[in-house]
Structure 1
């Protein structure tokens, strides 16, 4: 039987002039080609070529996506790509969008996409910020503007009032746009009010960490109950911070972090004290917690019980913040400019302005090398036991 060979060579050039190619070889009988198989192959190759060249997808992703969609004509996809690019979307943004929602290429750019883009621009999003926001949850562009997006954001504005606060909340957690107000947000807010959390703190929760408010009401109720049982004051900001930390950490990770602290000598009471002073400490990775605790206890010879009183330190960078400060203090101690019995934990815990005033600008004339130490250009040799 007569065989027909259909070959398509796709060639793309990267910025460094490296040429990559993919060769498709299909063997088809003349009978099969007349029955439409050839047309199907041509459509597949057009789809792959378009996804690579116009949308920025790599070959593997493009071939995989070609199993889900077929581009017969590029008129609609071209309009979609043009609209996105005009509004600040790069090929990387577009590729990320299509990876989850390939059928976005066939959305109506005038009726479906443009109104949503203009709506979010009216709130203050623009350029790369708009693209980053819409790519963070690809479902936003496919949800109804009138039935989902606008009603949800109007509800949020009853708590956070201004467009500026609204955009802050959306940048924190874009998926809140797609949340069900009646089934999720309203019940969770009712739970907070039931514990006595003031509306002002609920408003802050939307701008600081809105994600927990989108949990199922059952999960949210469980976490809120645990936070309340730990003794957090519902009137304080720490209540909602603790709720956010506990909801973001599953039971297994929570226990591993708690055991990591206890392995350095913390009691259960000291662990609870640290969490109540700074609830965000449990958002820090277990690896970082161990690394910092090891430095405090084994390199600085600090008491684990004393460290428990300064849990803010676990939110800081060891390399960029703590070690440079130790280097500054080491220089000043070696020159006798500050006492060796200085409250080291308090100094490390100082905010930037306070630390610089106490130890950098005050002594840079007498010890100019502390500038290099503060900028991380000097090694830390330790304070001794």
Structure 2
């Protein structure tokens, strides 16, 4: 194991469409995390900001942007971009600073003010941008891309539209109990089936929205946590950061292919399962040790894929695990008790940080009506464009 760091504080700004700037959202989340840690802003030695390319120059230098908004006090500033994995990369950067002795207390912040509708490539024609290539070459917006994965599951494993709807119904239960979620109403399978088709077989309620929102963490060494009176702090035990190992030339694929090869392919090391495997190896834990998981449910079908990639079940058995109730509240391994992206929507640089906020509250026993009984270990997983794979293991 590389070493543990403690979560001293966690804070969020509610997700929604608020019509204000990302700096306001991130500053509020940061102050909430500081209050949760019982620390003044002046006690923070380093700020790591998760970048957002859609929020102009301030979004490109998020670490300095948030330090300025909170009031310049001399802290080290770092900015990190890894698409949807930006928040996890920011956490890992903070962890490295703490374990190396560069800082004792680090503030990690991610915030976004996302445009409505599908995420479009930023900056006009960008032939080096996988989003631009996919849109231009395939005419495939993100929901169309998600639908290809859904169709693959239906063809290979017999998944059904009803299975996908069950994911939304389950996650809406968590969202209804989460004060930070954008969508806080229960949803029925009939409502999913009656929502408009976006990219067959996926309907509107199968796909996450784009949102404004923010999340922040204050991290420190375990010794720092104990000095602050935290006898048994929540700890980050592992952060994986992997990229695909299969050579692009061998597959003859363009840059639009940044997802994994399927487990039944001839590729020796499928990407998505390797994300969790690296985290498990570093943490010294396995899927059997988990109390809960927060996964990156861009669509309902993709959540089922993550069950298998995390090793919660064998390939092709994600829908079976769901039907058995294992991933539901009160089940053997609740997945997305926060409500997931289904209830939050995407606020890209904030979402991986928000996942760790949820695990922190769950492991502290402070998750309210969505609390997982006896939670002692959890994992997050997400994937960013250009092959950024990220997973965080949190324990208590």
Shorter-chain TM-score tier? under 0.3
Q: TM-score, normalised by structure 1?
A: 0.22
Which structure is higher in RCO with an 8 Å CA cutoff and minimum separation 6? 2
Say which one has the larger Rg: 1
